[in-house]
Amino acid sequence: MKAYLDNNRASKIDVQVMELMQQSLVEHYADPRARHADAIKSRTPLAQAYEKIKASIHAKDNDMVTIGSSVDELHCRLLISIYVNSVITGQKNQIILSASESDTVIETAEYIASQGCRITILPLNSDGVVDTDMLKQTITTKTALVSITMVDAQSGAIMAIDEASQICSEHGVPLHSDASHAIGKLPIDVQMLDIDYLTLSSETVHGPTGVAMLYIKEGIELPNLIQPNNNLVGIVGLGKALELAVDSQAFEMEDTRELRDALEESIREIEDHLIITPWALRTPNTLLVGFKDVSSDALVWELNRYGISVSGEKGRALTENTASDSIYKHTLVEFALSRYTSQEEMDYTIEKLKKSVEIIRTERAR
């Protein structure tokens, strides 16, 4: 028996996605920009993929979608482009990011800060989300960009992007959101959210690795941002994966939610645990938990011995200010299910998790 519960990092490819990619690998080799019949043959699957990508987030026909190899890559390019086009020129003077952004993004923000741009990082509260009051206090009309993750990758906590969007539009500030861990888990409508930029990637929705997209609202121009990405097969895979993710969201995700909730129930039976994932406003597939006296590394390793794949996390919502938080620092493990996770996998995981926590605590006590 095995269980793969690291789906917020990467997920198994959907067989329909794979078949479409395989067909494209064989048939759509010609450069779609060439001017012969073979090139024209490559254009249809590409156009269909872009349509699916746009449909998955309710983008309009005239909105732009640009492809990159990862959300981090696209997000970093967006930051640098905003910095070059709005900050260096003296029009704006600050970029606001949620603490939920990835290490790579935070590093790029630090680089921009070292060049003289004010960077404000909004911390996560005990529910693992950005407090929009904090945004209100820091945003000004000179803010160049606000970037808030739609769903925290580690805890699955859902941020109040609608409120953030309203605050941003009151100040005339563009808003970006990384929707990697939201897509397929909750409905996304860029028009309703009135969002300017949105990124998401393929690997968390049973698509291929190494392909991601940046949505840019109609009318926005970002010089030097867009470089051609000709990963035709990857784009085809992304399109299909997003279509399937959105289709499965309503039904299959409810089954996933039940399995996740069952895991949570059984974790509540284990002594001295901390559940970071909030009770309300959370995605159906994620649970971030810590066990006192059980380090992340030890638990990841122990579970791996039983064929259970999970990742240890830092837990960005930990404040390090309370006694409880300091006890659970370095103990957090993320369980990330997918629509492929089965009841058997979950039962097996619950059994082995209880055993593993006990073994590690016993070893430690000795």
Interface with a second copy (CB under 8 A):
4, 6, 9-13, 18, 21-22, 25-26, 29-31, 34-39, 67-70, 72-73, 76, 104, 111, 203, 208-211, 224, 227-235, 297, 300-301, 303-304, 307-312
- How many other C-beta atoms are found inside a 10 Å radius of the C-beta of residue 15? 9
Indicate the SS3 state at residue 112.
Answer: helix
d(CA 237, CA 21): 6
d(CA 205, CA 207): 6
Strand order in the sheet with 94-98: 64-68, 212-216, 197-201, 175-178, 143-147, 94-98, 118-122
CB of 335 to a second copy, least distance (A): 12
Q: Under a CB-based contact definition with an 8 Å cutoff, are residues 197 and 78 in contact?
A: yes
Q: Under a CB-based contact definition with an 8 Å cutoff, are residues 8 and 336 in contact?
A: yes
Q: Under a CB-based contact definition with an 8 Å cutoff, are residues 90 and 120 in contact?
A: no
- For a second copy, the closer CB: 52 or 206: 206
Q: Under a CB-based contact definition with an 8 Å cutoff, are residues 171 and 141 in contact?
A: yes
- For a second copy, the closer CB: 138 or 340: 340
CB of 109 to a second copy, least distance (A): 13
Name residue 327's beta-bridge partners: none
Looking only at the bridges linking them, the beta strands covering 94-98 and 118-122 are parallel
Question: What do you get for the CA distance between the two ends of the chain, in Å?
Answer: 30
Strand runs labelled E in 221-285: 273-275
Q: Which helix (H) or strand (E) holds 229?
A: none
CB of 253 to a second copy, least distance (A): 19
CB of 303 to a second copy, least distance (A): 8
- For a second copy, the closer CB: 179 or 233: 233
CB of 52 to a second copy, least distance (A): 18
- For a second copy, the closer CB: 187 or 307: 307
CB of 123 to a second copy, least distance (A): 26
CB of 16 to a second copy, least distance (A): 12
d(CA 176, CA 213): 13
CB of 172 to a second copy, least distance (A): 28
The tokens describing 99, both together, are 């603490």
- For a second copy, the closer CB: 23 or 343: 23
- For a second copy, the closer CB: 183 or 310: 310
- For a second copy, the closer CB: 181 or 217: 181
| Phi, psi (rounded to 5 degrees) for 225 | -90, -40
What distances in angstroms separate CA 95 from CA 29, 51, 128, one per listed residue? 41, 31, 21
Q: Which residues contact 136 (CB under 8 A, 6 or more apart)?
A: 167
- For a second copy, the closer CB: 234 or 278: 234
CB of 286 to a second copy, least distance (A): 15
d(CA 339, CA 205): 9
- For a second copy, the closer CB: 131 or 348: 348
d(CA 146, CA 143): 7
- For a second copy, the closer CB: 165 or 248: 248
CB of 4 to a second copy, least distance (A): 6
